[in-house]
Amino acid sequence: MFSNLAFAIGEGDCLHVTGPNGCGKTSLLRVLSGMSLSESGDVRWDGTRIDRDRGTFNQAVFYVGHREGLKAHLSAVENLQFDLGIRRSFDQADIDAALERLAVTHCAHLPVRVLSAGQKRRVALARAVAAKSRLWILDEPFTNLDVAGRDLISHLLDDHLSGGGLAVVAAHHDLPLRAGRRVPLEIS
Amino acid sequence: MENVGIFTAAARLVERDLKVIFRHVSEALNPLVFFVVVATLFPLATSPDAALLRDMAPGVVWVAALLSSTLALDSLFKADMDDGTMEQLALSPQPLAWLLLAKIVTHWVVSGLPLVLIAPLVARGFFLPTEAILPMMLALALGTPTLSLIGAVGAALTAGVRRGGALLSLLVLPLSLPTMIFGARATDLAGLGEDPSGPLYLLAALLFLTLSLAPLAAAAAIRISLD
């Protein structure tokens, strides 16, 4: 799908992956997250191959893919409680703050199945905020979001990058960042 | 931030899965209803003769338990694959095999344990002697988790396949035969007033074997399905 691909990102960097449909953006993100295996080459985190120390890498990474990864019969709060609960100790305040940041507090206790596609997207992204992971891997994070939602995600990325976080974002849209360094990667 | 241990993570996964199951409990009851219905069909299709039914009882209970267990397997990982939560489990800091074991345990508590508890009623309907009831329950308590563990490997292999139910049955049923044979034999021996400990020990050995290997195999299969 792609070859001769080599890059490195550091604190405050956002790799912006672009390219036409079917070029392999999602496949690249899945390889970077460790979910898919590449035919050759490797992905390293802090100098260590991610398949050699998956636990450490998984503690540092948060992936939001095409599917939200939410249980439809649980509420946004319950979904976040579980997601955080298997990663680290947490306070309810972490969850409340993340849901408030994504402006979904008003529907936080409703089953996810009754939320709109945009609200589900916001809840999925709230998990990344609450997890406080160093590396965000976001596949088309702007899908289903209105203009305000897109601005919100841009601001979230700004905050994440200015706090020393890293991000890999596959998006057809422009990525207007006010903080951090945008590293463009076009796959053709 | 403090990382959580594997037991806490497993407990949270069990709690989440139980919440999801009890919010649409009708689906969870399907295997139990199926077990009772299948067992009820045999006297209707054969004869109400007490001696015949007593002879058939161990086989009927175990065939119904095996089919019921297979029916419940399709939902074990499929929903998590479809909604993307399996991706999140695979990317969590916890070992995937351990998390899948927690899911299998939850699955057994909901689909296997009720069979163990209701089997005495079915067995009494088949005129199985009272002294055989406890060994039969013990055999089911050892055998149904084994069926869930073996089934989990098949469910993981077919989790990414659309309409993989038939394929799942073809994969799982042959591998489940030893459990069914030893389970039925233990029940049969107890019904004849003989010592059922031989097949019960074999069932226990099968349980420990599958407990050690099945979660690892299921995790490898899930990673292949996610790739």
- What ipTM score was computed for the predicted complex, to two decimals? 0.89
| pLDDT value of residue A183 | 86
The first and second tokens of residue B171, run together, are 């994969």
d(CA A63, CA A30): 9
**Residue B194 is assigned to a structural domain of this protein:** yes
Task: Quote the CA–CA distance of A126 and A120 in Å, as a whole number.
Answer: 10
Distance from the A51 Cα atom to the nearest Cα atom in chain B, whole angstroms? 12
How much is the pLDDT for B162? 79
**In the numeric block, which tokens belong to residue A69?**
């990864």
Q: Is residue B63 part of a domain?
A: yes
Amino acid B19: pLDDT: 93
Query: Do A87 and B93 lie within an 8 Å CB cutoff?
Result: yes
Radius of gyration of chain A (CA): 16
Q: The domain containing residue B131 runs over which residues?
A: 6-226
Banded pLDDT at B7 (limits 50, 70, 90): very high
pTM of the model: 0.91
Contacting residues for B70 by C-beta, under 8 A, at least 6 apart: B147, B151, B168, B169, B172, B173, B176
Residue A128 three-state SS: helix
- How many folded domains does chain B comprise? 1
* Distance of alpha carbon B206 from alpha carbon B108, whole angstroms: 16
pLDDT at B157: 93
The mean pLDDT value for B174-196 works out to 93
Nearest one of B218, B83, B104, B9 to A83, comparing CA atoms: B9
Q: How confident is the model at residue B1 (pLDDT cuts 50, 70, 90)?
A: low
Min Cα distance A31 → chain B (Å) is 9
CA distances, B164 to each of A67, A161, B1, B21, B155 (Å): 21, 43, 41, 21, 9
**pLDDT for the residue numbered A31:** 92
Residue B132, in any domain of the structure: yes
Give the model's confidence band at B34: pLDDT under 50 very low, under 70 low, under 90 confident, else very high: very high
Q: What is the DSSP letter of A186?
A: E
Contact yes or no for B160/B81 (Cβ under 8 A): yes
pLDDT digits (tens, 9 = 90+) for B56-101: 999 999 999 999 999 888 889 999 999 999 999 999 999 999 999 9
Which amino acid does the sequence have at A96?
A: D
Measure in Å the smallest separation between the Cα of A144 and chain B Cα atoms: 17
The pLDDT score that the predictor gives to residue B179 is 95
Using the beta-carbon criterion (under 8 Å), do B88 and A58 form an inter-chain contact?
no
CA angle A99, A100, A105 (to 5 degrees): 70
Contact A78 B4 (CB under 8 A): no
Domain assignment of residue B1, yes or no: no
Tens digit of each residue's pLDDT, chain A (188 residues)? 777 888 899 999 999 998 888 888 899 999 999 998 888 889 999 989 998 888 889 989 999 988 899 999 999 999 999 999 998 888 899 999 999 999 999 999 999 999 999 999 999 999 989 988 899 999 988 888 888 888 888 889 999 999 999 999 998 777 777 777 888 888 87
Mean pLDDT of B125-145: 93
Burial class (CB in 10 A: 0-12, 13-18, 19+), A188: exposed
Length of chain A: 188
Q: Is residue B124 part of a domain?
A: yes
Give chain B positions within 8 Å (CB) of A73.
19-20, 23-24
Number of alpha carbons in the 13 Å side-chain half-sphere of residue B188: 14
SS3 track for B194-227: CCCHHHHHHHHHHHHHHHHHHHHHHHHHHHHHHC
CB spacing of A132 vs B1 below 8 angstroms: yes
- Roughly how many angstroms between the first and final C-alpha of chain B, as a whole number? 31
Which residues of A have a CB under 8 Å from any CB of B?
Answer: 30, 33-37, 55-56, 58-59, 61-63, 65-74, 78, 82-83, 85-89, 111, 132
Structure confidence at residue A184 (pLDDT): 86
- Largest separation between any pair of C-alpha atoms in chain B: 67
Q: Which of A56, A68, A87 sits opposite B92 (nearest CB)?
A: A87
Q: What is the 3-state secondary structure (H, E, C) of B81-92?
A: HHHCHHHHHHCC
Is the model's pLDDT at B163 over the cut of 80?
no
Residue B146 lies in a domain: yes
What does the block give as tokens for B11?
């407990």
